[in-house]
Amino acid sequence: MTSPSRPQLLVTVLDWGMGHATRTWPLIEHALGAGWRVHVASKGTALAWLQSRAEEMDQPHLTFHTKPGPDIKYAKRGNFWRIARQMPAFVSYVERERTWAQRMVQTLNLDAILSDNCYGCAVPGIPSVLMSHQLQIPTPKWLEGPARSVVQRWTQAFDEVWVPDLAPGETSLSGALADAQVHSHTQYIGVLSRLAKHKQPNSTQTWAKVGMVSGVEPHRSLMEAALRTWMADAEGPCLVIAGQPGGGTRQDGHITTWCDPTDAELASALQSAGTVVCRSGYSSQLDLAALGARAILIPTPGQPEQVLLGKLWSERFGFVCLTQRQLETGELPEHATGSLPKLEPNVRAFEHLSSWLHKAAAHPA
């Protein structure tokens, strides 16, 4: 039985890796600070990461739930077609999400729903927002129209769409991915990152090389192995950020491994590294933008979105973007390059969230 003294917010998070979870965390914290009881729903690694964050705080108004969702499987090569074959299952889960969300509204007496890329988590009569940077799903040309139509149909169930990016233009971080008209109430809420509050005005080098491992298997492990080989003959201490909640730390010669660093530790490492290597996943890029940090970008094989983002950041901001095979063979430059636009992360997102929560709390149940 939930307390009637606080309005009830459901936050649903897509569980493909940890990126959606990490970028949603600042909004969860902000909603709690605004006096809401927050119910967070996800599954797998994303849910484990969110629960690990909650263990660091004494917050009785935060609860967790397991949400239905498909287990997308990846291969070492040829991922695009393997993912494509699983799309019918993904579409069926959108329908299952709708049934689940309606049940959650009734059980928890919800006042509002904030959904990070969970397209079925909108319920008629309940204020709802879909957060996504992927308004145009990257597909072969002949599929772009049908893909846009499907996204547009799904987004219409929500009152608003929030894009964690600057408005379309030369400073947009997601480029064509977020430059599509799918909803009449689309808001660009700026850069969103849990690391923003840990930005340091001046940093001295602590690590010669930092590798940030992310993504789903088998590519998470393949990337980690390649990073360790790249670091093996480095002159100076190196750090592997392994992306495994609850895994602790270990030391192998001059290579340190942090499985699940705190936000402050991660931000410090990214800002005090001689060279950073990470995926071109959008949430990782949001973290880089929030800190003003450079990195060599490695798209996950077979994920067109990461390939597109890596190419965009190479052409627009001067970042180095290489393939995973180039990482595996050690074809990396000495240092990362690139320059990102100056910005104030989280400010616009928090303003939008505060305004929306105020209106949702006043909305008749």
> Total structural domains in the chain?
2
292 lies in the same domain as 155: no
pTM for the structure as a whole? 0.90
The answer to whether the CB of 193 falls within 8 A of the CB of 346 is yes
156 lies in the same domain as 61: yes
185 lies in the same domain as 289: no
The answer to whether the CB of 358 falls within 8 A of the CB of 122 is no
Angle between helices 347-362 and 19-33 (to 10 degrees): 60
Looking at residue 61, its pLDDT comes to 96
164 lies in the same domain as 85: yes
39 lies in the same domain as 134: yes
| Secondary element (H or E) of residue 183 | none
130 lies in the same domain as 273: no
Mean pLDDT of 140-147: 63
Looking at residue 86, its pLDDT comes to 46
104 lies in the same domain as 146: yes
Least confident of 28-32, 148-152, 353-357: 148-152
Cis geometry, peptide bond prior to residue 341 (ω within 30 degrees of 0): no
Mean pLDDT of 154-183: 93
Looking at residue 145, its pLDDT comes to 67
22 lies in the same domain as 147: yes
Task: Choose among 2, 35, 40: nearest CA to 24.
Answer: 40
270 lies in the same domain as 350: no
Inside any domain, residue 323: yes
Domain of 356?
Answer: 8-192+346-362
Looking at residue 364, its pLDDT comes to 66
25 lies in the same domain as 162: yes
Inside any domain, residue 339: no
Output the six-digit token pair for 157: 């169930």
Inside any domain, residue 188: yes
From first CA to last CA, the distance across the chain in angstroms is 17
Residue found by looking up tokens 């979870």 in the block: 21
The answer to whether the CB of 177 falls within 8 A of the CB of 138 is yes
Looking at residue 50, its pLDDT comes to 93
20 lies in the same domain as 90: yes
Residue 15 predicted with pLDDT over 80: yes
Q: Rounded to whole angstroms, how far apart are CA atoms 74 and 98?
A: 26
Looking at residue 18, its pLDDT comes to 82
Looking at residue 85, its pLDDT comes to 52
Mean pLDDT of 316-343: 95
Q: Rounded to whole angstroms, how far apart are CA atoms 191 and 89?
A: 31
Q: What is the CATH number of the domain that holds 97?
A: 3.40.50.2000
The proportion of the chain whose per-residue pLDDT surpasses 90, expressed as a percent, equals 69
- The answer for 31, left when phi > 0, alpha when psi is -120 to 50, beta otherwise, is alpha
pLDDT in tens, 76-114: 554 454 545 545 555 667 889 999 999 999 999 999 999
Inside any domain, residue 275: yes
212 lies in the same domain as 317: yes
